[in-house]
Amino acid sequence: MNQFNRRQVLQAASLGLLGTSASGWFPAFADDVQAKSKKRRHCVLLWMTGGPTQTDTFDMKPGHANGGEFKEKETKVAGLKFSEHLPKLAAMADQLAVIRSLSTKEGDHGRGTYLMRTGHQPQGPVKYPSIASTFSKELGDENDAVPQNVSISPYRAFNQSAFGPGFLGPKFGPLTVGATDSFQPNQPGAAGTGYAELKVDDLTPPIGVAKEQFEGRLELWRAMQSRFLASHRTPSPIAQDTVYQRAIKLMSSGASKAFDLTEEPDKVREAYGKGRFGQGCLMARRLIEQGVSFVEVTLGSFNGNAGWDTHQQNFTAVKALSAELDAGWGTLMQELADRGLLESTTFLWMGEFGRTPIINPQGGRDHFPAAWSCVLGGGGIKGGQAYGKTSDSGMEVAENKVDVGDVLATLSSALGVDPETQNISDVGRPIKIAEGKVIKELVA
């Protein structure tokens, strides 16, 4: 149940509304607060580690030598076509806006990851926050038990700083589930289930520790922590305390059940796909239902490679990756729509860059930031369209060139956040949420 804040109660009291005449007014006021709570906005970032190939997904080139092996198929929207390996997304095309004219300047994995995830190039003294931290700060409520920024299966080996809160501080850092910080592939699912295992460690007290014991230990820790912080008001101790306090709040709330996918029927789990990405999308749905503002799900590895980094055997890899993407993303959008949550949830699908339209001698596609695609969808987005255009060969942008700042400004606007909003950096410099122009044709 939602609770009124102190200001609302005091305002009501000052108007004499909490007296004997409150019986007719109070339920209506409560209903209004409840309705407002349901309008909370959510954002889902689907991060495609390695750089997804636009030419084999959302900007195909049939009939051209660069087109490759896959067929282009009609979607729910006349004239808008996707890869044959994305049938669920094709059925939801009226909710998707493909940007086919994205052009950036970073073709290195680490630098490209930082650019796309922060909106800034990795240079200078400023430690920029990831867009997950930036938007969760604007959309979330710090009083909630559930964290407002959750990152599922992040593959951070290319650039860990691109996933952090930067100058916003640990308060706005992500709660991570199943992170990978090396160049090794994520581990397979839990033995005997077939489903990828995704869990937040230590959400419950250790076995054998009674509730009274746990609460006693917690009180002792709080007393010691308070004394320590009183004489050590420096960034590292404060950061550590922030993380611990957030974990304790989550442990003591029912919201922690959102991470337990075993509560879901097998039929639902299978629809999302049994891999880490599919199960991550299912977890994202459960987190959004609990009120989490920003959820990120990564499709981060394939056969020991970094996801979409398909320098070799591109078509074998992309076919499998597309199946994972389609099952997870398509089912997530449909389930959110069925629950009335899609209109308040905005999606951004992207990686660090695109891939070369030209197929290399190893049957792969290489790094290509000059002309590539990303996708926006869900609430606040005018779906059922493609914005911008690449040349027949796919080698250059032909119409409506877009930069990362424009993408993030458009996302911000769709979420109801003014992209001109500023945060003060760690060097005292005001930084806008997005350094770009809103693509008005894409905002509902």
Instruction: Tokens for 418, please give them.
Output: 């003014």
Q: Which of 131, 129, 147 is nearest to 47 (CA)?
A: 131
In a domain, 232, yes or no: no
Report residue 305: phi and psi, to 5°. -100, 165
Alpha helix stretches (DSSP H) within 98-166 = 109-118, 131-139
Spatial distance between the Cα atoms of 38 and 29, rounded to a whole number of angstroms: 15
pLDDT of residue 203: 65
pLDDT attached to residue 202: 58
* pLDDT given at position 2: 40
pLDDT classification of 10: cutoffs 50, 70, 90: very low
Q: Is the dihedral of CA 139, 145, 151, 152 positive or negative?
A: negative
Total-model pTM = 0.85
Predicted confidence band of residue 188 (pLDDT cuts 50, 70, 90): very low
Helix (H, G, I), strand (E, B) or coil at 118: helix
Q: Tell me how far apart the alpha carbons of residues 96 and 74 are, in angstroms, rounded to a whole number.
A: 14
In single-letter form, the type of residue at position 427 comes to: V
pLDDT value at residue 328 = 98
Residue 387: pLDDT above 60?
A: yes
Q: What is the mean pLDDT of residues 224-238?
A: 78
Query: Is the residue at 365 inside a domain?
Result: yes
Polymer length of the chain: 444
Backbone φ/ψ region at 184: left (φ over 0), alpha (ψ -120 to 50), beta: beta
Which own/partner contact pairs does 315-323 have at CB distance under 8 Å and 24+ positions apart? 315/56, 315/68, 315/69, 315/70, 315/363, 318/53, 318/56, 318/57, 318/70, 318/85, 319/70, 319/85, 321/52, 322/56, 322/57, 322/83, 322/85, 322/86, 323/85, 323/273
Can you point out the beta strands (E) in 27-161? 42-48, 72-74, 81-83, 96-102, 149-152
Region of residue 124 (left: phi > 0; alpha: psi -120 to 50; beta: else): left
The answer to whether 287 touches 294, Cβ cutoff 8 Å, is no
Q: Which domain holds residue 372?
A: 42-201+264-442
What is residue 275's three-state secondary structure?
coil
Q: How far apart are CA 409 and CA 432, in angstroms?
A: 10
Q: Residue 40: which pLDDT band, with cuts at 50, 70 and 90?
A: confident
Q: Range with the lowest mean pLDDT among 40-44, 95-99, 218-222?
A: 218-222
pLDDT recorded at residue 251? 65
Residue 75 structure tokens: 């979607």
pLDDT greater than 70 at residue 24: no
Calculate what percentage of the chain has a pLDDT beyond 70. Answer: 83
Residue 310 lies in a domain: yes
Q: Region 185-206: what's the mean pLDDT?
A: 66
Q: How many domains does the chain have?
A: 1
Residue 16 included in any domain = no
What is the band of 303 on the pLDDT scale with cuts at 50, 70, 90?
low
The predicted-structure confidence for 76-98, as pLDDT tens digits, reads as follows: 999 999 999 999 999 999 999 99
Looking at residue 184, its pLDDT comes to: 60
> Does residue 415 lie in a domain region?
yes
Say what the pLDDT of residue 134 is: 98
In terms of DSSP bridges, do strands 175-177 and 397-399 run parallel, antiparallel, or are they unpaired? unpaired
Is the pLDDT higher at 23 or at 340? 340
Mean pLDDT calculated for residue range 16-21: 38
Q: Is it the case that residue 30 has pLDDT exceeding 80?
A: no
The more confidently predicted of residues 131 and 225 is 131
Q: Which tokens go with 368?
A: 């290509």
User: Kind and range of the H or E element at 250?
Assistant: helix 235-251
Report the mean per-residue pLDDT for the chain. Answer: 87
Cross-strand pairs, 45: 296, 348
Q: Is the pLDDT of residue 3 over 60?
A: no
pLDDT tens-digit readout, 237-286: 776 676 667 667 666 666 788 999 999 999 999 999 999 999 999 999 99
Task: Assign 3-class secondary structure to 150-201.
Answer: EEECCECCCCHHHHCCHHHCHHHCCEEECCECCCCCCCCCCCCCCCCCCCCC
Q: Is the pLDDT of residue 192 over 70?
A: no
| Residue 252 confidence (pLDDT) | 65
Residue predicted with more confidence, 171 or 268: 268
Parallel, antiparallel or unpaired: strands 367-368 and 354-355: antiparallel
Mean pLDDT of 315-331: 97
Q: With respect to residue 208, please indicate whether it lies within any of the assigned structural domains.
A: no
Strands (E), 257-316: 294-299
Give the residue with greater pLDDT, 164 vs 234: 164
Whether 257 is covered by a domain: the verdict is: no
Examine residue 235 and state whether it is found in any structural domain, yes or no: no
User: What is the number of H-type helices and E-type strands within the chain?
Assistant: 11, 16
Looking up residue 282, the CATH number of its domain turns out to be 3.40.720.10
Which phi and psi (to 5°) does residue 392 adopt? Answer: -55, -35
Q: Which residue has the higher pLDDT, 342 or 306?
A: 342
Give dist(CA 299, CA 296) in Å, integer.
Answer: 10
